[in-house]
């Protein structure tokens, strides 16, 4: 069993502590960076206001990027699970 490690990832200038298996730390960092870039792209377009809506739009875009249209409702590999965990952490921090 892999040991768990807590790291801090920065998404849209906010830091989030996230736990993951030690052997997935770099994948989590990469996923957080990818999410941050997607959120910045959407923000730059000026069409989405509010951090929570920005995160949802980024999640939809990422899902679209990684899931073929016939597979959209099925979980799709380790990286998507890590991205979803990161999104869940970010959205939890946004809730009052």
Per-position pLDDT tens, the chain of length 96: 569 999 999 999 999 999 999 999 999 999 999 999 999 999 998 876 788 888 888 888 888 787 665 555 555 555 666 676 767 766 665 655
> What residues make up the domain containing 56?
4-94
The whole model's pTM is what?
Answer: 0.68
72 φ/ψ angles, rounded to the nearest 5 degrees: -60, -30
d(CA 91, CA 85): 10
The reported pLDDT for the residue numbered 53 is 87
Q: What is the CATH number of the domain that holds 9?
A: 3.30.160.880
The reported pLDDT for the residue numbered 71 is 52
Query: Residue 86: exposed, middle, or buried by beta-carbon count in 10 A (0-12, 13-18, 19+)?
Result: buried
What total of structural domains would you count in the chain?
1
């Amino acid at each position: 069993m892999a040991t768990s490690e807590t790291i801090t990832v920065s998404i849209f200038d906010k830091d989030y502590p996230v736990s993951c298996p030690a052997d997935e730390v770099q994948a989590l960092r990469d996923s957080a960076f990818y999410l941050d870039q997607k959120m910045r792209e959407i923000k730059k377009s000026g069409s989405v206001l509010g951090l929570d809506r920005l995160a949802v739009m980024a999640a939809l875009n990422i899902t679209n990027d990684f899931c073929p249209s016939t597979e959209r409702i099925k979980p799709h590999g380790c990286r998507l699970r890590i991205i979803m965990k990161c999104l869940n952490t970010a959205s939890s921090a946004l809730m009052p």
